Structure 1
C-alpha cells in the first residue's frame, strides 16, 4: 500500500496535478485497493485534519494580509521605513527588506508581501541605480521572510500537523526571522558599496515625525498581535481575528482607501486562498494517517538507529530533502507531506519540536523563491515584466544567502529557542 501511495503521488506531481489532488487521489486509491477498511475512514481523517482550533486563525491572517495590501496600510509602512533608513548606504534596498520584514510581521504571507512591497519598490530601485538583476532578486526573495516572522501561516500549519505549540513557534520565529533578514540587509549594504550607489538625502526629524504619525495606525497591528499574545491577553487564534478587524476598520475609516465594494472583493479573494489551504491540509491529514498505519515513521526510525545517524546528520538530511522538495512544491505542501514522516524521527533524536518547526518553516521560506517552481517567481513576473530566466538569475545570490541563514538557524538552536524559553521558563 505504501509503495502504491508514493508511486501515485509522484506520478500526479510529475503531471503537474495540484498538490491537494495528488495527495487525495494517491491516498484514496492506495487505501481503496490495498485495504479492507471502509473508504469513509479516509473522509473522516480528512475532516479531522482541519477540525482543529488552531486553524481558525488561518482565514483571519489571510484576510488581514489582503486588507493591509489593498487598504493603504502596506504603503504607509513602506514610507515610514524609508524615511528612517533611506539615507543610509544602500538605503532603498534596506528600506525594501525592512518593509518586507515589517509587513511579514503583520501578514504572514510571502506572496502578499512581494505584491504589496515589490510593486512599489521595483521602479524606485531601478531609478536609484540598482541593476535589474539585483532589484528583481531582492523583490522576489525578500517576501520569503514573512514565513518566519510571526504570524506565520506555515508555522500554524506545522503546529496543526504535529501538535506543536503555535504560540511557541511564533516566538521562535522572531529570532530566526531577524537573522534571516539581517543577512539580506548586510548583503544589500555590501552591494551598494561595491556598485557605488548613492543614498537618498537624510530626512529631517519633522518628516520622520510626520511619517510616523501617518503610519501610527498601521504600526499598531504588530503591537496588537505580538503584544497581545506575549502579554497573555489573547491566544494566537484570537489575535488573528482582532488584527483582521483592526485592519478593516483602519483601512475603511481612518485611511479611507477601502470601500464596501473593495472589502467584499478582498473577502472573496481571501476565502479562495483559505479554501486552497484547507483542502491541502485535509488531503495531507489522510496521507499522513496512511503513513502512520503503514508504520513508515517507525521503519525509518529503525533504519536511522541501525545506521547510527546523529542529530547533526539528520538535520542536514532534513534540509536537503526540504530544499529539493521546495524546488517543485510550495513550502506549506512540503511541510504537510514531510512533517508526518520526519517529526517523529526528530523527537526520537532529542531535537526540540519548536526548533525543528522553525527549521521546516525556514526551508519553506527558501522554497518560495527557489527555481524552477517557487511561487514568488511567478508572483514577481507581472510586477517586474522580466522573463523567468532573468528572475531566476537575479534570485540565485539570495538563495545562497538564505541557505547560509538556514545553516545558522539549524545548528545554533538558541537563536530560535531563546525567546520561547524565556517566556515559558522551560526547555522546549
Structure 2
C-alpha cells in the first residue's frame, strides 16, 4: 500500500498537479484499499476538518496578514537602515547587514517569502553596486531569509506544534538560539568572502545618523518584543500574540508611518486570504492523509523495515534530518511537515526525544530544503521577484547549504543550543 500511494503522489507531481491533488488522490486510493469502497467518506472528511479545527492555527492567517501589511509598508526599510548604520562600514558589512536584516524581519513576519521580497528587493541592487556577484547576492538573500523559519514567529513551527501536540510557545523560544547561531555563521562567511574578493567597504555612518536610524526603527523593533516578551511573560498565548501583531502592524503602517491608505486594505486582505486558503487546504488534506497512513500502520512498518527504532536517539534525529531535507527539496514545506511528522512520531516517542528539539531540527531542515535545488520554494520566489534565470539563482547556494547542514549537526551534538532558552523560560 505504501508503494502504491508513493507512486501515485510522485506521478501526479511529475505531471504538474498542485500538491493538494496528489495528497487527495493518494488519500482516496488508500481509503478504498482499506475499506473497499467510498461509502464511509464522511470519516475521511471529518479527519480533514479536524486538521484545521485547532485554535492554534488561527495564528497562521494572523501572522500572514501582519507580514503582508509590513511588506507593503515601511517596517522593512527602517530595520534595514538601522542595521546598515551600525555594521555597513565593516568588511563585508553590506552582506552581513543583509543577513541581519533578514533575521530581524523574520522575527517580525515569520515568512521566508515575505522576507525575500521585503529585504531582498532594496538590498540586492546595493550589493551588486558594491561589487558582490549576483550568484552570491541571490544565495545570501534566499538562505538568510530562511532564518525566518527558526526565529519566532514561525509558521512552520505552528504547523508542527499543531500536528505533534507540542507547545508552540516552547518551540518559538527554542528557535531563537539556532537562528542566531546561523546568522553568526553566515556573517563569518560574508566577512571571508568580502576579504577574498576585495569588496570595498561602505562609508561609516555618524553617531547622529545611527541615532536617527534607531529612532526610526524603534517602532518595528517592538514586534519581537511583543511576540517573545508577551509569550515569555505569560501575558498572552502565541495565538493572541499573532492577533496583537496584526493590530500593531495596522497601527504602525496606517497611523504612525501613514505608508498605507484605507483602499490598500482590500488588496492586503485578498492576498492574505489566498495564501491562507492554500495553507489550510494543505493542512486539512494533509491531516486526512496522515490519518490514512496511520490507520494502515504504514509509519510503523516503514520505521521497522529501516531499523530506525533501534537506531537510538541520535540515529532517529539523523534520519529525521535527512528525510525532511530531501523531501523539502521537492515538495512544499508545510506538506512535508504534515506528512512526515506522523511517520516519525512512533520513533520519537520510543526513543524519548524532546519534541521541542525535534521540532527545531525539523524546522531547520525545512528551511534548508526551501532554498535547495531542484524545487526549493524560495528559489522560485527569488526567480519571480528578481527576474533571474534558475541556474544563476542556485549557483551560489552550496556554501550556505553546507553551513546550514553543519548547524543541524551542532544542534544534534549540543541540544542546549536550542533548549537553553526554552529551559530558562519554561522549566
TM-score (ref. length: structure 2) = 0.96
Aligned to 2:158: 156
Aligned to 1:229: 231
Aligned to 2:286: 284
**Matched positions, count:** 425
Aligned partners of 2:216 and 2:340: how far apart in 1?
44
Please give the residue correspondences for 1:381-396 in structure 2 after superposition, counting only pairs within 5 Å: 381-396=383-398
How big is the shift at 1:218? 1.1
Is the Cα contact below 8 Å between 1:297 and 1:345 reproduced in 2? no
Please give the residue correspondences for 1:331-410 in structure 2 after superposition, counting only pairs within 5 Å: 331-410=333-412
How big is the shift at 1:2? 4.0
Aligned partners of 1:246 and 1:306: how far apart in 2?
46
Is the Cα contact below 8 Å between 1:330 and 1:367 reproduced in 2? no
Aligned partners of 2:135 and 2:301: how far apart in 1?
46
Aligned to 2:27: 27
Aligned to 2:144: 142
Aligned partners of 1:27 and 1:125: how far apart in 2?
47
Q: Give the one of 48, 51, 55 matched to 1:49.
A: 51
Aligned partners of 2:122 and 2:217: how far apart in 1?
16
Aligned partners of 1:3 and 1:382: how far apart in 2?
35
How big is the shift at 1:196? 1.6
Aligned to 1:6: 6
Q: Give the one of 98, 115, 118 matched to 1:116.
A: 118
Q: Give the one of 187, 205, 208 matched to 1:206.
A: 208
Deviations 1:212-235 (A, max 9, x none): 111111111111111111111000
Aligned partners of 1:369 and 1:306: how far apart in 2?
27
- Per mean C-alpha deviation after superposition, the further-off stretch among 38-47 and 215-224 is 215-224
Aligned partners of 2:236 and 2:254: how far apart in 1?
25
Q: Give the one of 96, 99, 110 matched to 1:97.
A: 99
> Counterpart of 2:388 in 1: which secondary structure?
coil
Unaligned runs of 5+ in 1: none
Query: Structure 1's 3 and 131: CA in aligned 2 closer, same or farther, altered over 3 A?
Result: closer
Is the Cα contact below 8 Å between 1:162 and 1:340 reproduced in 2? yes
Is the Cα contact below 8 Å between 1:148 and 1:173 reproduced in 2? yes
Query: Structure 1's 385 and 235: CA in aligned 2 closer, same or farther, altered over 3 A?
Result: same
TM-score (ref. length: structure 1) = 0.96
Deviations 1:365-415 (A, max 9, x none): 011111111111111124333211111112222111211112212332111
Query: Structure 1's 2 and 78: CA in aligned 2 closer, same or farther, altered over 3 A?
Result: same
Alignment RMSD: 1.5
How big is the shift at 1:123? 0.5
Is the Cα contact below 8 Å between 1:86 and 1:202 reproduced in 2? yes
